[in-house]
Amino acid sequence: MANDDFDLIVIGGGSGGVRAGRLSAGFGARVAVIEAREFGGTCVNVGCVPKKLFAYAAHVADDMHDAAGFGWRIEPGHFDWPTLIENKNREIARLNGIYQRLLEQAGATIVRGAARLLDAHSVAVGERRLRSERILIATGGWPQVPAVPGAEHVLTSNDIFHLETLPHRTVVVGGGYIAVEFAGIFNGLGRATTQLYRGALFLRGFDDDARRFLAEEMRKKGIDLRFDADIARITRDLGELELTLTDGSSLRCDLVLYATGRKPNTRGLGLQQVGVSLRADGAIEVDANYRSSVPSIYAIGDVTDRVNLTPVALAEGTALAWHLFRDGGKAVDYEFIPSTIFSTPNLGTVGYSEAQARAKFGDVAIYRSSFTPLKHTLSGSSEKTLMKLVVERATDRVIGAHMVGPDAGETIQGLAIALKAGATKTLFDRTIGIHPTAAEEWVTMREPVA
């Protein structure tokens, strides 16, 4: 039985944990990083990276369709799912290796296996015992499936990336960004796709205009969107799945994906036994410096269930390493965090939605434009783009920007800098646009909507 002493033990080798561990080791701390699976966490293995690779694959069908309007004659292609999976696996393995090498090069000790807290300073990994002045929990989140009869027949987003074959008829259950993205992926790969959401409109928390606009565009693509709809029961019949909905109707399909949320991955860690306070959903409660109710135990990223985005976990890992082993000068600013849903088409956003802005700032001006991009004047596609600015009237400051359209994330990232810097609508108006681009619309919207 080995005994190891460290300055920091990190449980979880995802983006936040690796960043905190690598920087802390670089600052001279003795660091151990414990990981039971592959390095990179959700984002690298079953999240952002493979999902966007799948989204790229799905968009190829649109590109082939659009090509005809530009004079290209492309024969109907054949999509080969195993090839996509093989190429995806190769890229993920490369990224796993990079994450591990970053830790090794920084001097961190890597420990493989499942961790369990013994007390406020001790962790068990199998027969090995590790002790540290501080412990960081960075174990991320895990998909959750509600207790619907027949739930044993469904898959989660973790499973989709390892399917040997992709069935022809898919049903996606959920109204968050994961559900929306996979509905677009399945549809783009030529699968008959239905998305069910129990609420009146998906993507709760995003700007209402953007939500409605995206729903319209997804329906144009052929996705069967059904709101105020949910599954009551799932049964298997002759190799098919039969879904009985809460309204009494039924659906038959080959695959059901539940993307109904992720919960903090805290089960089995022994947190409550050592006195760490958890919320009802299992999230670790932390203060401004990511410290839990036990002074020696910290938590960052999705396991705290606050802002569940990979770049936020990275920023928190950086801030914590500086707080613990340097001068603490890297605090995270959580206002104006940009994000993008890699739906079909993309939805990008930064700052406040119109509803949020009215609730917080009162008098706001709204600038909105929807249009057919130049590309689609020849492509024959009916896809449109939406851009929207939310402006605080009292200061003329732009406090929200929302876009539905191709590569929305690439555009919103630049706008995020402007909003972070406090740019006013007057500055937007004085900026020269790049013509012809969709992005120039951001600086040519002159009149607020009624």
Peptide bond into 448 cis (omega under 30): no
**79 falls in which pLDDT band (50, 70, 90)?**
very high
**327 falls in which pLDDT band (50, 70, 90)?**
confident
Compute the distance between CA of residue 56 and CA of residue 51 in angstroms, rounded to an integer.
9
Compute the distance between CA of residue 402 and CA of residue 64 in angstroms, rounded to an integer.
28
Catalytic residues: 435
Token pair, residue 309, equals 């985005």
Compute the distance between CA of residue 224 and CA of residue 187 in angstroms, rounded to an integer.
10
Beta bridge partners of 366: 390
Token pair, residue 189, equals 């790969």
In the chain, count H helices and then E strands: 12, 21
**328 falls in which pLDDT band (50, 70, 90)?**
confident
Instruction: Look at residue 329 and tell me whether its pLDDT is greater than 80.
Output: no
AA identity, residue 296: S
Taken in order 45, 48, 50, 51, the sign of the CA dihedral is positive
State in Å, rounded, how far the first CA of the chain is from the last one. Answer: 72
Residue 422 Cα distances to 86, 351, 358, 402, 416, angstroms: 45, 11, 18, 16, 10
Instruction: Look at residue 343 and tell me whether its pLDDT is greater than 80.
Output: yes
Per-residue pLDDT averaged across 95-121, rounded?
Answer: 97
Per-residue pLDDT averaged across 266-295, rounded?
Answer: 96
Asked if residue 233 lies in contact with residue 149, where contact means CB atoms within 8 angstroms, the answer is yes
Compute the distance between CA of residue 24 and CA of residue 107 in angstroms, rounded to an integer.
10
**4 falls in which pLDDT band (50, 70, 90)?**
confident
The DSSP result for 247-267, as a single string, is TS-EEEESEEEE---EEE--T
Asked if residue 136 lies in contact with residue 9, where contact means CB atoms within 8 angstroms, the answer is yes
- Per-residue pLDDT of 351-398, as tens digits, reads 999 999 999 999 999 999 999 999 999 999 999 999 999 999 999 999
Least confident range from 78-92, 136-150, 183-197, 323-337: namely 323-337
* Domain annotation for the chain: domains and CATH numbers: 3-142+263-325 (3.50.50.60), 151-260 (3.50.50.60), 339-443 (3.30.390.30)
User: Could you identify the residue written with the tokens 């732009």?
Assistant: 398
Least confident range from 17-26, 73-82, 118-127, 185-194: namely 73-82
Asked if residue 287 lies in contact with residue 305, where contact means CB atoms within 8 angstroms, the answer is no
Instruction: Look at residue 76 and tell me whether its pLDDT is greater than 90.
Output: no
Mapped onto helix, strand or coil, the DSSP state of residue 275 is coil
**Comparing C-alpha atoms, which of 423, 401, 404 is closest to residue 413?**
401
Instruction: Look at residue 108 and tell me whether its pLDDT is greater than 90.
Output: yes
Token pair, residue 223, equals 């996705």
- Per-residue pLDDT of 257-277, as tens digits, reads 999 999 999 999 999 999 999
- Per-residue pLDDT of 168-187, as tens digits, reads 999 999 999 999 999 999 99
Instruction: Look at residue 3 and tell me whether its pLDDT is greater than 70.
Output: no
> What's this model's pTM, rounded to 2 decimal places?
0.95
Phi, psi dihedrals of residue 14, rounded to the nearest 5°: -85, -165
- Long-range contacts of range 91-96, CB-CB < 8 Å, 24 or more positions apart? 91/49, 91/53, 92/38, 92/40, 92/44, 92/45, 92/49, 92/50, 95/40, 95/44, 95/49, 96/38, 96/39, 96/40, 96/44, 96/45
**Beta strands at 141-143 and 262-264: parallel, antiparallel or unpaired:** antiparallel
Asked if residue 111 lies in contact with residue 120, where contact means CB atoms within 8 angstroms, the answer is no
Instruction: Look at residue 2 and tell me whether its pLDDT is greater than 80.
Output: no
Task: Give, as one character, the DSSP assignment of residue 135.
Answer: E
Per-residue pLDDT averaged across 151-167, rounded?
Answer: 95
Computed over every residue of the chain, the mean pLDDT equals: 96
Phi, psi dihedrals of residue 337, rounded to the nearest 5°: -85, 120
Instruction: Look at residue 1 and tell me whether its pLDDT is greater than 60.
Output: no
Portion of the chain with pLDDT greater than 70, in percent = 99
